[in-house]
Amino acid sequence: MTKRINLILFFLFVVIVCNATADSVFVFANDTLRIQQRSIDHIALEKFKADTAFQYGRPQEGVTPWQRFVVWILSMIAKFLFFTTQTLVGQIIFYALLGGILLWVILKLLNIDAKNLFYRGNTSTKNEYKLAEQNIHELDFEKLIEAAVQKGEHRSAVRLTFLYALKKLSDADVINWLPGKTNDDYLKEVKHHTAASKLKELRYYFDYAWYGHFEINEDTYRQVKSSFQELKTKLE
């Protein structure tokens, strides 16, 4: 037991001595190194500044007017996109413009005159002959068709040509024309006649132009006229 106590006391003594040695002041020798002060050579510095090889990150030339214009355009686009995506009014205007452009593209692809969707002018109603109300045997179709073509009213000319075809079929006793009968009724009557295919073509152009409100140009009307002439030859 006594040996253990003596061993512990010995270790405590060693620790105390080591701490006392670590806390002692170490004195350095005097620094005899000479310091040489140097100044910047301003002439050499200006040469480096003038040398383009050392002009890191500096633009080689100023911004041109065209570049300023492009930057302005891009900033306007950025502002517009922010306005149309971050504000309610902007979103309404954006989707309204998008819908208008989409509608315009669809009308152009289908060759539809937009004004015909909302308003039908006098030029399209001058020769509006209603099949259920007009007696086709009382109309001078050749004169009416020629007048419509001369005025550029090809849409009305298509309608008149179709009615003229019905008159020709009625005169040849192929159909029994009566006010109130539908185009489907007449197609059923000519179902087994050689002129059936041509009447179907004329009926297609008629529906396309009149009920579909599609504009008909001169080239399209030539096709209508050609189908009518072929129908006439099948009735001779």
Per-residue pLDDT of the chain (236 residues; tens, 9 = 90+): 555 566 566 566 555 655 555 445 555 567 677 777 777 788 888 887 888 777 666 555 567 888 888 888 888 888 888 887 788 877 888 788 888 888 888 877 765 655 555 544 444 344 444 444 457 777 888 899 999 899 989 888 999 999 999 988 988 888 888 877 888 888 899 988 888 899 999 998 888 887 777 778 888 888 999 999 999 888 87
Residue 196 contacts residue 190 (beta carbons within 8 Å):
yes
For residue 198, the 8-state DSSP code is H
For residue 174, give every residue at least 6 positions away whose Cβ sits within 8 Å of its Cβ, in sequence order, or none. Answer: 189, 190, 193, 195, 235
Rounded to two decimals, the pTM is 0.46
Lookup result for tokens 């007449």:
186
Neighbours of 152 (CB within 10 A): 13
End-to-end CA distance of the chain: 146
Residue type, 13: F
* The two structure tokens encoding residue 108: 């152009």
